[in-house]
Amino acid sequence: MRSSTLVQPLLHTIGVRLTMVAMGVISVLTLVTVMEYTSDIGKLRRETLEHQAKHLFDGLRFGRNSNFLQYCKRYPEAYGYRVVNDKNEILTEVNEALFTGMPRYLNIGPPYLAYRRRGGGEAGKEQWLVTWGKEISSTHLWIQATLIGDPAALWREVIVEEVIDHVVIPSLLIIPPLGFAIFLALRSALRPLSRIAESARDLAIEVDSGAPLQELPSEELPREALDLVAAINILLQKFKSMLVQQKQFTDNAAHELRTPLAALSLQISRLPPSEPVERLRSDVAVMGRLVDQLLRLAQAEQLAKAGFLEQDLREIARAACEEMAFLAAQQGRLLEFDEPSTPVLASCSAEFIQIAVRNLIENALRVTPVGSMVSIEVREPAQISVSDRGPGIPDSEKPLVFQRYWTRPRRHGKGAGIGLALVNRIMDLHGGAMRIEDRESGGACVTLSLASAHARDFAVQRHIRNGVA
């Protein structure tokens, strides 16, 4: 039986893994960008000041304050800036002490950048200066920004901006269309595998329902898949051959055994009545039922080939009761039949559902005490139940009764362990279900549940998907 763990389609799995790879690439590029800047302090300081100078120019252009001004007020010993016009006049200066000894600007037409580093001081406390020139309203202005040590960690804004500009935005522009192209290519490449999977599901339904087995198609397949399909088809041919041989053996064995059993039964009927003769007659009857059930089991495998028609379950169950009434009377037991006034319709084979009900009645008669009653009930939705008055079935043994040739160690009467297995197989071929429950007053109740044609096909497919076949 397959695991109940949800299995995702291959294309979905590949898509998830490609997404994980893309996220990994973005993470690596982000890490490389961060390491590139943090490993070169000088470059990081220059980029930080350039970033702040640009924001100061934007503030002058649009008439708003820059965040750099707040940092200058908060850390006057670390940050400062000034604005100089083309006449070398200082228009604005914040924390002027930081600019002592610094040139106002270099006489080169804007826009341009110049960096200057003043040595001295403890490690990590060097002063950096950037001069940024730009034209605003036909006026050439220069902004000089300086910092010492960067206590507010303004470098983080630079790294975030660099990651957005050089990693995130290019990734968003490249990865989605590239991923979509890969998706289309993979879907086209995996289409043959999808056809194989669909054919394999159909094959599983055919195996479970007893329909003729069809080989998997091998047209337009890649070499790797072609080898797999060829191997499956070889196994399928051998499996079909084994099924034919098994059916032929069962049919031949059942037919060949019927004749000597009939002759033996006739010879026993001529013997004078005695206890050994009665035991012998009973054993021959058991052998006859075994041969009949083996033949029915072999015929059941061909059930799906004949198709199903909508039948009234009341008529099927009533016919089975009438057929078993004489046996019940011989054994001193009673049959009770209960049915609704309206038809109970189901898509099924009337012949094999009648065999299933007859087997259930026979098992119930075997375990029901003499003088007691076996109840047969037909009810909606499309159910037939058979209840006995026997000792019941322990919960530990309920899953075992569906297995072929399994019998209880201390059984009531004689059985070969085929009857309930045959009933269960008939229900499988119908896409139905067989359920065993305990009766409150003692005994067991076996319920057969059938369905309409559409519901039956859906049940069979679900049966295959759950890996029960």
Positive or negative: CA dihedral 289, 291, 295, 298: positive
Cβ pair 241, 249 in contact under 8 A = no
Quote the pLDDT of residue 290: 67
Q: Which residues of the chain have pLDDT under 70?
A: 1-8, 103-124, 205-213, 250-251, 253-255, 257-259, 286, 289-291, 293-307, 402-419, 452-469
373-379 and 334-338 beta bridge pairing: parallel
At a CB cut-off of 8 Å and minimum separation 6, what does 97 contact? 80
CA atoms within 13 A of residue 11's CA, in its CB half-sphere: 16
Buried-exposed string 336-354: b where 16+ CB fall within 10 A, e elsewhere: ebebeeeebbbbbbbebbb
Quote the pLDDT of residue 258: 67
Quote the pLDDT of residue 301: 58
Cβ pair 192, 220 in contact under 8 A = yes
Quote the pLDDT of residue 36: 85
Domain 305-465 class in CATH: alpha beta
Closest by CA to 134, choosing from 168, 113, 151, 110, is: 110
Cβ pair 128, 117 in contact under 8 A = yes
Q: In what order do the strands lie in the sheet with 444-449?
A: 334-338, 373-379, 383-387, 444-449, 433-438
Closest by CA to 25, choosing from 125, 165, 146, 175, is: 175
Predicted confidence (pLDDT) per residue in 397-444, tens digit: 777 776 665 555 544 445 555 667 778 888 887 878 888 888 888 888
Quote the pLDDT of residue 119: 54
Measured CA to CA, the distance from residue 407 to residue 105 in angstroms comes to 104
Quote the pLDDT of residue 306: 56
Domain 210-301 class in CATH: mainly alpha
DSSP H or E stretch at residue 290: helix 275-300
Measured CA to CA, the distance from residue 339 to residue 318 in angstroms comes to 9
Closest by CA to 83, choosing from 45, 134, 126, is: 134
Quote the pLDDT of residue 74: 92
CATH 3.30.450 fits 40-153, yes or no: yes
Domain boundaries, the chain: 40-153, 210-301, 305-465
DSSP H or E stretch at residue 205: helix 169-209
The reply to whether the predicted model has a pTM over 0.85 is: no
Query: Helix, strand, coil: what percent of the chain each, to 5?
Result: 55, 15, 30
